[in-house]
Structure 1
């Protein structure tokens, strides 16, 4: 059961994934009063998803890497919760953060229907809000049996279920290898892993690879595991169509040119009953943008938060850790969570960061180098919009097709995602453009925008859907008066 909401804490950590967990327990170790807020019922985030207790899983560690690290973090969390040093608001999603004097007020909702939550205050704020999966639409992507690559892994980790018996894994990014291997080891047949980019480009940065031998070894292990399970690696290719009536029956895989345009005549069908597809992850920045934190364009074309070496954002009193600063993996998230907490502790106590911080900064610099390389290698090419047929839905919530958006551009003068949204309703549905925003901006922007459509993220006043009654009862004026 979540602890009762405190009136005030010295530091609030939003998100209980790897970065948030590391930040919370490190800040508590330093003697700070910590509030940990997370939408999930249990800590771990997307990476350390655990099967529901009712499923009776006896070896949840079999579905994870670094499970010992997670159990050590949760043990520290439990000790601090027992003493009251950390107060954990599980099942609370922060929908807005406002300034109240010298404090931040965190407005939350609970449950699937958005019930009223707590509104605690904190002097300092650490954002560890993680990432969401980036989807590039293509004909048939709304057919039952098509799931996100990260979503397929979440189904396996938390529900112990497979999306299908014969699953093609497609998209771009190192996550695909981990997903394909997890599915194969769980009993699925994975006929192909379809990667839109390739892996040879990593060889152009030997110094970065040499500085991150663990990542190189991980890649070798994944490739060996995939070979052992008979998974074919198809690089510079993409799923450009899904076939089926009531659910997935097969996919067309086409070769891509350097701009990610399909090469005519190269399409080949692969029979399957499910497709797990994703083109990497992008930072979840709704709260940060609402606070006015500055962003920059990452090497993968997505918007990432600007932070200094102490992980302070451009807004005083706000730190950020993990994927909010760019997608880099669990080890980087853990290091940044710890580093952010040490910086917060130094700020709160008026001293210098502990010696441990210097080592963390060096590790962070090294891992950020690999993250930048990874983003550049797997960045979507501008030609991916050539996958789209006129009747391909790009906004599933409002059923807006690629043809409709292109007509708004060609005939109605839409020249950016916002104008296209106003003219077509694309992005006005339940997800508020979180799924389709990249595609809409790519179609509405100038030529070549398909590779940089995430660089201008939408700023939303609410970080999640909530009932109007909740909004009416909340006082979100900056002065809190």
Structure 2
């Protein structure tokens, strides 16, 4: 199992119930993923459960895995590559240790079945000034609040699209931050199209309504405005953010002239949804759909023999879908039959995920709030104007050649932050599209590794070598 978040934990436990011996690889210091991110054991908070939904379930899952002698949990395990093999799951190459530490231990695993549960990246649409200190992704702000109890600012605006903005606000309030307002890009009509159509179907996912009601009460109690159909279109400041400009949006998310408002803040948290983290799945040869998610069948099997995926890799749907898919994937990987309850849960929350995409999905008009000087690729300092001019002057439709010409997506993050935005901008207004869309997600070396680590001999953890 690669990934110790909800999907990976559920998959591991299901595989153990069916008798398989499991190695769970997690890059962090503990399992739980981003959803159950928490303070380390040495700084445990007695009130930790108040920061999380489903905290008791997490504790039960973790205890079951830790107490199982045939389940090996390897934390600090960074999977940097997988090697394809005909008719068999790929070899998995790992370095174990601190992310930037010396002397990390190299390992290679030879699994009978491989379950990938690597989660997702947060997507933030760029705007003028988004590279100023004090502009955070909403996920980074939440991680600092939940995992370190650190506030990103004293007065903060939270903006973007999707229900993820609400738990971010809750975390900021819990550590004493003043939230100026919440700005949701989707207009009421778009929200209604996603959430109000066939409302009886939402009854099966009604526990989500309880979470939403709790967040709504919190906003009302603090008198925090929640505005729809608007977006941050610029951030202002010299050494850091001092204010932002918020504008109303059209149905296609283009700014409406004359509706701009300036709001004084010292930080802004922005998120426009998530993208599946597919480096390892792509390197393994798994088929990927037009939405960037890994294609799976009813048993969570990918197009590669012996490789399964679960959670956000198969589409953004939240923790309940991740848990259900993980249970199915783990059962199948161990040669068992998925529990009917998990199959039903998956169906319910896949429908919920479809509503989420319809209600908060990005519309193309956002590109109108970029000026030519807006930095898109922050690693290589490539602007929107440079991208557009290059595409126009060269007439190229090949993403690889355009990346090499502009250097967009070739920096340290390897396009994780800007990749989809670069692809959208290079597609252009003519809508012709790129010849090779999705290549910004193709990273054969999934994480930074030292040349010395590559040259070290690896210790293969073959199935027959395990005690």
Matched residues in 2 for 1:451 and 1:76: separation? 48
Superposed displacement of residue 56, structure 1:
4.7
Matched residues in 2 for 1:109 and 1:164: separation? 35
1:448–1:140 Cα change, 3 Å? farther
Deviations 1:330-381 (A, max 9, x none): 11111111111111222xxxxx515xx2221111011100101101221111
Is 2:104 the partner of 1:121? no
* Unmatched runs of 5 consecutive residues or more in structure 1: 1-12, 347-351, 477-481
Is 2:36 the partner of 1:48? yes
Superposed displacement of residue 103, structure 1:
5.4
1:162–1:17 Cα change, 3 Å? same
After TM superposition, the score normalised by the length of structure 1 is 0.89
Is 2:242 the partner of 1:249? yes
Which residue in 2 is equivalent to 1:187? 176
CA contact (8 A) 2:90 2:284 kept: no
Which residue in 1 is equivalent to 2:462? none
Q: Which of 231, 238, 250 is matched with 1:238 structurally?
A: 231
Which residue in 2 is equivalent to 1:5? none
Matched residues in 2 for 1:463 and 1:136: separation? 23
Superposed displacement of residue 44, structure 1:
0.8
Which residue in 1 is equivalent to 2:93? 107
Q: Which of 442, 445, 451 is matched with 1:462 structurally?
A: 445
After TM superposition, the score normalised by the length of structure 2 is 0.91
1:449–1:334 Cα change, 3 Å? farther
CA contact (8 A) 1:443 1:449 kept: no
**Pairing 1:413-432 to 2, within 5 Å after superposition:** 413-432=395-414
1:466–1:450 Cα change, 3 Å? farther
Superposed displacement of residue 471, structure 1:
3.0
Matched residues in 1 for 2:95 and 2:219: separation? 42
Superposed displacement of residue 69, structure 1:
0.6
**Pairing 1:32-43 to 2, within 5 Å after superposition:** 32-43=20-31
Superposed displacement of residue 209, structure 1:
2.1
SS of match in other structure, 1:123: coil
For this pair of structures, how many residues does the alignment match?
Answer: 450
Matched residues in 1 for 2:407 and 2:92: separation? 30
Q: Which of 391, 397, 412 is matched with 2:373 structurally?
A: 391
Q: Which moved more, 1:332-341 or 1:442-451?
A: 442-451
Superposed displacement of residue 240, structure 1:
0.3
Matched residues in 1 for 2:5 and 2:192: separation? 32
Matched residues in 1 for 2:61 and 2:136: separation? 31
Aligned-residue CA RMSD (Å): 2.2
* Unmatched runs of 5 consecutive residues or more in structure 2: 460-467
SS of match in other structure, 1:212: helix
1:340–1:353 Cα change, 3 Å? same
Which residue in 1 is equivalent to 2:261? 268
Superposed displacement of residue 276, structure 1:
0.6
Matched residues in 2 for 1:410 and 1:162: separation? 43
CA contact (8 A) 2:427 2:434 kept: no
Is 2:57 the partner of 1:65? no
Which residue in 1 is equivalent to 2:78? 93
Which residue in 1 is equivalent to 2:465? none
